[in-house]
């Protein structure tokens, strides 16, 4: 799998790729674009952009994204990296979408258009359309699309929940030795999704994903050690795994580690350290961290009580759909 250094290398080896510095203005923000307008301007793609250049861009975007899925990077972080990648190449998002709409003959282009539809990147969010495109890409054996489709089936977003399909998709990825598939298959055994619960099997798969560097696998392995799921209770091991995941930039790992410092589990109580970890995760748009941070401000727990800050962070958490934050916010606003 290409890393970011290898990706950028495509454009340093060939002189024609110098044209990226002469493309349309750097994207400052990604305003919504009317799909009908895009379709009418498909032939207006910047004259300096070669077909093979955008083919490389699309492939590299998908490879980069799938690499970060396998590393266990946060969803919001991965999404921002997609936008940053396009921005750094100084390609107008309109041009990328126009090209995708006119080039739906390979799995990466199909998948990426589905991803843009799902996330409302450059267009209105269209979950049904994204599902159709993901399914089409899955039929062409696209690995990233298999991950996304499994998530849609397990969450029931835009499609009926289907645990059997979740299990089949993740098992297929796991057989290819992708860390994301191995972790997800472990989760299926952990929660009994499309199969009977098997805690020992789940633990083994989480361990394997951890060994391959997947930070989400580290968090779930830490959870197993903390609660004695498929193994003996070992809270020190759990702490070490959460620390490792946090060091890799996983916001859930930061929350878990913050809980240890806040409650004095395996370490001395350190409210300031907990606050720093919650704040870092909250700034990564983790709704649970935002709520925890709000609670600390509300109660003056390790920090000076600040109801304005509490309300601010509850609002951010609520906007992302966390119901507990909503109830807390209503209570504070009544007061």
Q: How many other C-beta atoms are found inside a 10 Å radius of the C-beta of residue 160?
A: 8
Q: What's the confidence (pLDDT) of residue 330?
A: 87
133-143 pLDDT, tens digit per residue, is 999 999 999 99
**Cβ contact 172:138 at 8 Å:** no
Model pLDDT, residue 52: 58
Sorted by where each starts, the structural domains of the chain and their CATH numbers stand as 52-159 (1.25.40)
Nearest to 4 by CA among 55, 75, 67, 69: 67
Range of lowest pLDDT (44-53, 93-102, 173-182): 44-53
| Tokens (6 digits) for 155 | 């969450």
Residues 291-303 have pLDDT tens digits of 999 999 999 998 9
Between CA 148 and CA 158 the distance in angstroms is 12
Cβ atoms of 68 and 1 closer than 8 Å: no
Tokens of 221: 């392995």
Tokens for 139, please give them: 């039929």
Tell me the mean pLDDT in the region 164-180. 97
Q: Which residue has the tokens 């599902």?
A: 131
Distance CA 23, CA 196 (A): 54
> What average pLDDT is seen over the chain?
86
Lowest mean pLDDT among 41-45, 156-160, 312-316: 41-45
State the pLDDT at residue 51: 55
Please tell me the distance from the alpha carbon of residue 158 to that of residue 109, in angstroms, as a whole number: 21
Angle between helices 307-319 and 287-299 (to 10 degrees): 160
Helices and strands: H and E segment counts in the chain: 18, 0
pLDDT for res 163: 97
Query: Is a pLDDT exceeding 60 seen at residue 1?
Result: no
For residue 92, what pLDDT band results from cuts at 50, 70 and 90?
confident
Q: What is the reported pTM? A: 0.82
What is the model's pLDDT at position 247?
97
The answer to whether 195 and 167 are in contact (CB under 8 A) is yes
Cα torsion 304, 306, 309, 315: sign: positive
Q: What is the pLDDT of residue 55?
A: 87
Q: What is the pLDDT of residue 249?
A: 96
Residues whose CB falls within 8 Å of the CB of residue 306, separated by 6 or more in sequence, listed in order: 297
- The whole-number pLDDT of residue 42 equals 33
pLDDT per residue as tens digits for the range 32-55: 333 333 333 333 344 444 555 788
**206-240 per-position pLDDT tens digit:** 999 999 999 999 999 999 999 999 999 999 999 99
Pair 263, 290: CB distance under 8 Å: no
For residue 95, the model assigns a pLDDT of 86
């Amino acid at each position: 799998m290409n890393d970011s250094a290898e990706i950028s290398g495509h454009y340093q080896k060939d002189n024609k790729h110098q044209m990226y510095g002469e493309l349309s203005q750097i994207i400052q923000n990604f305003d919504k674009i009317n799909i009908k307008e895009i379709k009418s301007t498909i032939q207006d793609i910047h004259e300096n952009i070669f077909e093979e250049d955008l083919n490389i861009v699309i492939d590299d975007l998908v490879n980069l994204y799938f690499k970060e899925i396998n590393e266990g990077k946060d969803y919001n972080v991965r999404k921002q990296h997609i936008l940053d990648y396009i921005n750094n190449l100084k390609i107008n998002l309109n041009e990328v979408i126009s090209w995708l709409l006119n080039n739906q003959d390979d799995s990466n282009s199909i998948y990426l258009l589905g991803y843009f539809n799902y996330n409302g990147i450059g267009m209105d969010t269209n979950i049904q359309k994204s599902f159709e495109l993901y399914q089409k890409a899955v039929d062409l054996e696209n690995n990233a699309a298999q991950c996304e489709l499994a998530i849609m089936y397990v969450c029931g977003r835009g499609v009926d929940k289907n645990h059997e399909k979740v299990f089949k998709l993740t098992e297929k990825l796991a057989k290819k030795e992708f860390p994301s598939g191995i972790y997800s298959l472990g989760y299926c055994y952990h929660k009994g999704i499309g199969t009977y619960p098997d805690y020992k099997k789940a633990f083994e798969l989480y361990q394997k994903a951890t060994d391959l560097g997947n930070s989400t696998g580290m968090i779930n392995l830490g959870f197993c050690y903390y609660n004695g799921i498929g193994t003996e209770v070992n809270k020190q091991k759990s702490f070490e795994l959460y620390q490792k995941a946090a060091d890799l930039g996983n916001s859930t790992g930061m929350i878990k580690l913050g809980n240890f410092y806040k409650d004095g589990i395996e370490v001395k109580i350190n409210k300031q350290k907990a606050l720093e970890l919650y704040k870092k995760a909250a700034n990564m748009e983790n709704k649970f961290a935002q709520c925890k941070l709000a609670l600390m401000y509300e109660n003056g727990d390790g920090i000076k009580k600040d109801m304005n800050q509490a309300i601010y962070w509850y609002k951010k958490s609520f906007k992302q759909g966390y119901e507990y934050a909503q109830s807390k916010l209503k209570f504070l606003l009544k007061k």
